[in-house]
């Protein structure tokens, strides 16, 4: 009985959401307090055409640019590569383990027979 109620409720909620979206698309200022015709564009005159001015000759244009003085080259840098001695890698030591607990049974204990689910005997290993 609960599933049909949830299905109908979800359907009605989705339909109401779609209706609100459509209404907001057609009336952009529907839920605002502004007057309804304030959103309409006002009649604004188009921008005036640009005014082009005549080029003015500058008296300083007769001056020639100063002679370019070559800059001295940057000083040469000497880089000496020094090889650092490579440290020998530490010898790899394999950890050794030894049993540190007694044997115990793990696994399924309620199933009997040749199912492959017999209890197994294990013990924990610790570093020496």
Q: 28-41 pLDDT, tens per residue?
A: 877 777 655 555 66
Share of the chain above pLDDT 70, in %: 73
What's residue 41's pLDDT? 61
CB neighbour burial string for 65-95, b if at least 16 within 10 angstroms, e if fewer: eeeeeeeeeeeeeeeeeeeeeeeeeeeeeee
pLDDT, tens digit, 9 for 90 and up, residues 56-104: 666 655 555 666 777 888 888 888 888 888 888 888 888 888 888 888 8
* Structural domain spans, the chain: 1-32, 94-128
Q: CA nearest 118: which of 127, 126, 109?
A: 109
Q: CA nearest 27: which of 13, 14, 37, 15?
A: 37
Residues listed for the chain:
128
Asked whether the predicted pLDDT for residue 117 surpasses 70, the reply is no
pLDDT, tens digit, 9 for 90 and up, residues 7-22: 999 999 999 999 999 9
DSSP state, residue 84:
P
């Amino acid at each position: 009985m609960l599933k049909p109620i949830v299905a109908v409720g979800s359907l009605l909620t989705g339909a109401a959401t779609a209706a609100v979206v459509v209404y907001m698309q057609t009336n952009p200022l529907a839920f605002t307090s502004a007057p309804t015709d304030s959103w309409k564009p006002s009649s604004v005159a188009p921008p005036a055409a640009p005014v082009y001015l005549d080029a003015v000759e500058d008296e300083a244009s007769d001056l020639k640019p100063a002679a370019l003085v070559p800059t001295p080259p940057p000083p040469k840098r000497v880089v000496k590569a020094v090889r650092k001695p490579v440290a020998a890698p530490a010898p790899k030591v394999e950890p050794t383990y030894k049993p540190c607990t007694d044997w115990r049974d793990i696994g399924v204990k309620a199933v009997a027979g040749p199912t492959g689910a017999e209890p197994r005997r294990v013990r924990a290993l610790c570093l020496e």
